[in-house]
Amino acid sequence: MELIDRYVYEVGRHLPRKNRADIQVELQSTLVDTLEARVEGEPSQEDEVELLKEFGPPQKVAASYWPQGQYLIGPNLFPLFRMVVGIALMVFIIVQLVLLGMAMVFNQEILTFMSVLDIFSEMIGSVFTTFGIIVIVFAILQRFDVRPETDQEEWDPRELPQIEEVDTINRGGTVAEITFSLVIIAILLFLPDKIGVVISPGMEVILNPVIVSYIPLIILSILLGIALDVILLWRGRWETGTRLAKIGTNLFGIYVLYVLIAGHNAWLAQEGVGGFLSYLEALPEGAISNQESVLVIGMHAFRLAFIIALIVVSVDTIKMVYQLLKRLIGRPVTLNLPGKKA
């Protein structure tokens, strides 16, 4: 009875968390008992479709289980409210992270802890402001009993979304990530004189002064990631708390990457070096083999690697924020608005 399972699951996504499990068990039992009473033998998919059409769309069934009373935002508007909040907050967070990432890459000044704290406090304040405006708008709609048109076309149970798998982790990938992180820490602690640009022949290493200066900060960022990976291995799956922790460690990692990028910018500026391509074009023939030129090229390469890493971590953070919002707010409903075709 796959359709019934999917139906009960979808109804549950629109129910209050407090009574969700009990209501789902009750609804599942009612549907199965009704179907078995109607059909002799193994019921077909068409039998399930006919029964579910009689019960109605999951949103409508879920609304009937909400307690009666005065609502700031009632069950009829709540699915639309969740959709709007999810879209608005997702767009806001993406835009803010992109702007923050661009500032980190192009700003020559190194952010202090307090300046980073100020940035994120302003972002949090803006999130609450956005959420408050949406709540006020929907409270007004609720006050005037505005009801969205959601059922203009016949509902088809075959279009029910599949049941999502539990947010399990990739244990092999997590163990590999921990191992790689420990190797990086070992290099930073025991082989700091090997962190830099290698010059051949002789394999002489010129230290990268920026990385060496920020070794404690880099190690702290890596240790936070290892601690989270250990917790994930213990829990076996992603949860709200671990997602929030991942977002936090990623944001700290973004800060560390920014510090490294800004440090390389400052070093290159101190050496009077412009852009990478313009520097190569200005080099006289044969100069690329001397130590100074190799070090400058190596510092440019390190800077580019950190910029790429910052972009990757930022994208991973956006993905994690989306998954967290999706888990907290729930799946958006599809609305057929008046005057528009579905």
pLDDT of residue 274: 56
* Summary mean pLDDT of the chain: 76
- Give the residue carrying structure tokens 């025991």: 190
Best CA proximity match to 196, nearest among 185, 212, 182: 212
% of the chain residues with pLDDT over 70 = 71
pLDDT digits (tens, 9 = 90+) for 308-330: 899 899 889 988 888 787 766 65
Residues 6+ apart with CB under 8 A from 241: none
pLDDT (average), residues 165-174:
74
Map out the domains of the chain as residue ranges: 2-65, 78-153, 171-329
**Which residue type, as a one-letter code, is found at position 64?**
S
pLDDT (average), residues 160-187:
80
* 143/222: higher pLDDT: 222
Q: What angle do CA 141, 146, 148 make, to 5 degrees?
A: 115
- Would the pTM count as exceeding 0.75? no
Contact (Cβ atoms closer than 8 angstroms) between residue 149 and residue 76? no
The three-state secondary structure class of 225 is helix
pLDDT (average), residues 120-141:
82
Residues 321, 170: Cα–Cα separation, whole Å = 19
Residue 205: DSSP 8-state: E
